[in-house]
C-alpha cells in the first residue's frame, strides 16, 4: 500500500513538473524540449552506523522536459528509473550479496537542474530526490529517501535543426535516510560518476 501511494505521488509530481514547463512555454513563448536519456555509473555507497562500503553500479533511464529562457539558460526537470547492483565490503573482504543492500535495487528519482549551453557545449547543475520502490524495506513499512546535488558537463551534436545527440559526464553526491518499523534509522550516502547519453528534440 505504501509503495502504491508513493507511486501515485511520483505520477502527480511528474504531471506538475511537466505542466509547469508547458505553462512557461505558453505564457512566455519560450522554447521547450523533451530529452529521453540513459546513463550508467560507478558508485561508492556507504552506511554510517555500520561503517560498511558498497561498490555499486547504477543503470538509469528517464526523460526530462527542458524550458529555454534564452540562448544560454534553461531549466530541466523530469523523472528517471534507477537500477543498482554491486559488491559489499565487510571484515572478510568484498563479496557479491544475494540481494544488494537487502533488496534496495529499484529507485525513482526526480531531478531539477539549471543548464547553461554555448554552441556545442552544455553544463547543468541542480538537486535530485529519490526513493526506493518495491523493496523488502517497503514491505516492512519503511522509507528509503535520498537527496543530493548533481553536476553534468558534455557536448551536443547537432543532428537536424531541432534535434541534438547529448553525450556527457555526470557526478552525484547523495545523503540517504532509511527507516524500518521497530528498528533505528540508518544514515549513509554515495558518490558516483556516470556516463550519460540523451536525445534532445526541440518543439
- Domain residue spans in the chain? 2-202
C-alpha cell at 77: 526537470
Class of domain 2-202: mainly beta
Give per-residue burial for 25-37: e unless 16+ CB within 10 Å, then b: beeeebebbbbeb
Q: What global pTM score does this model have? A: 0.77
Give per-residue pLDDT as tens, 117-173: 999 999 999 999 998 876 554 445 456 788 999 999 999 999 999 999 999 999 999
Give per-residue pLDDT as tens, 27-57: 555 789 999 999 999 988 776 655 566 778 8
Amino acid at each position: 500500500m505504501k509503495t502504491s501511494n508513493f507511486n501515485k505521488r511520483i505520477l502527480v509530481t511528474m504531471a506538475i513538473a511537466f505542466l509547469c514547463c508547458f505553462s512557461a512555454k505558453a505564457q512566455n513563448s519560450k522554447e521547450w524540449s523533451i530529452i529521453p536519456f540513459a546513463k550508467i555509473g560507478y558508485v561508492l555507497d556507504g552506511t554510517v552506523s555500520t561503517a560498511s562500503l558498497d561498490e555499486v553500479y547504477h543503470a538509469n533511464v528517464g526523460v526530462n522536459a527542458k524550458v529555454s529562457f534564452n540562448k544560454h539558460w534553461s531549466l530541466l526537470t523530469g523523472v528517471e528509473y534507477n537500477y543498482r547492483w554491486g559488491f559489499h565490503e565487510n571484515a572478510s573482504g568484498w563479496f557479491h550479496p544475494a540481494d544488494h543492500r537487502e533488496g534496495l535495487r529499484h529507485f525513482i528519482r526526480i531531478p531539477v537542474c539549471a543548464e547553461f549551453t554555448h554552441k556545442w557545449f552544455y553544463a547543468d547543475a541542480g538537486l535530485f530526490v529519490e526513493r526506493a520502490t518495491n523493496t523488502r524495506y517497503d514491505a516492512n513499512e519503511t522509507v528509503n529517501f535520498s537527496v543530493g546535488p548533481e553536476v553534468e558537463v558534455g557536448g551536443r551534436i547537432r543532428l537536424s535543426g531541432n534535434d541534438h545527440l547529448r553525450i556527457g559526464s555526470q557526478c552525484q553526491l547523495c545523503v540517504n535516510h532509511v527507516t524500518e518499523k521497530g528498528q533505528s534509522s540508518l544514515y549513509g550516502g554515495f558518490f558516483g560518476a556516470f556516463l550519460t547519453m540523451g536525445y534532445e528534440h526541440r518543439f
